[in-house]
């Protein structure tokens, strides 16, 4: 453990549940993994947030991240982003040759409240293809789930938090 909390990814044997490999990440601060997707080749994509990931540029507050590992546990790429407030990847799904992620944060520096709900697509190398703030009001908004269909449509679900009131949203984003 490098700090208060660390995130980890562990691959287990399908036959007996024994550990094949474990990858730990995080720095001295609080770090967490919230989401996981695995493609048919066994490559794993994990998303969450880090407070000060060692070896990566830190943008302030909590930074959202996505890390891709091959089936042997070798790190393929990492995409880390953020601004001065808390940015978090809360959901991840396979999309074509890459992944689509959803979460909360400040992608464009134009926060409407404390955090805005977003969706971002990353290609097979971890490079952003597109990003969109799905919901941006004076409340805090979160994209809690994402899914991509074979036609390239992305679906997002989430909620906003206002004092004494929470509202859900469902969105379909066409390519």
Does residue 64 form part of some domain?
yes
In terms of pTM, does the model score above 0.95? Answer: no
The domain in which residue 87 lies consists of 31-173
Average pLDDT over all residues of the chain: 86
Does residue 6 form part of some domain?
no
| CATH number where 88 lies | 2.130.10.10
Q: Can you give the pLDDT at residue 108?
A: 66
Does residue 112 form part of some domain?
yes
Does residue 118 form part of some domain?
yes
Of the candidates 18, 21, 1, 2, the residue with the CA atom closest to the CA atom of residue 10:
21
pLDDT digits (tens, 9 = 90+) for 71-120: 999 999 999 887 666 788 999 999 988 999 999 887 766 666 678 889 99
Position 124 pLDDT exceeds 90: yes
Structural domain count, the chain: 1
Q: Can you give the pLDDT at residue 126?
A: 96
| Cβ–Cβ < 8 Å for 60, 32 | no
Does residue 134 form part of some domain?
yes
Residue 27 vs residue 35, higher pLDDT: 35
Does residue 16 form part of some domain?
no
Does residue 164 form part of some domain?
yes
């Amino acid at each position: 453990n490098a700090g208060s909390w660390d995130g980890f990814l562990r691959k287990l044997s399908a036959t007996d549940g024994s550990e094949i490999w474990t990858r730990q990440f995080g720095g001295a601060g609080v770090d967490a993994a919230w989401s996981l997707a695995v493609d048919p080749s066994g490559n794993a994509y994990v998303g969450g947030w880090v407070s000060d990931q060692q070896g990566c540029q830190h943008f302030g507050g909590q930074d959202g991240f996505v890390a891709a590992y091959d089936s042997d546990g070798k790190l393929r790429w990492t995409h880390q982003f953020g601004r001065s407030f808390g940015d978090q990847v809360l959901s991840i799904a396979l999309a074509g040759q890459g992944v689509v992620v959803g979460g909360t944060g400040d992608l464009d520096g134009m926060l409407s409240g404390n955090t805005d709900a977003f969706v971002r697509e990353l290609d097979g190398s971890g490079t952003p293809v597109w990003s969109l703030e799905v919901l941006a009001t004076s409340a805090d908004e979160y994209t809690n789930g994402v899914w991509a269909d074979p036609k390239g449509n992305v679906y997002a679900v989430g909620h906003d938090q206002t004092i004494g009131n929470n509202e859900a949203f469902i969105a379909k984003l066409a390519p």
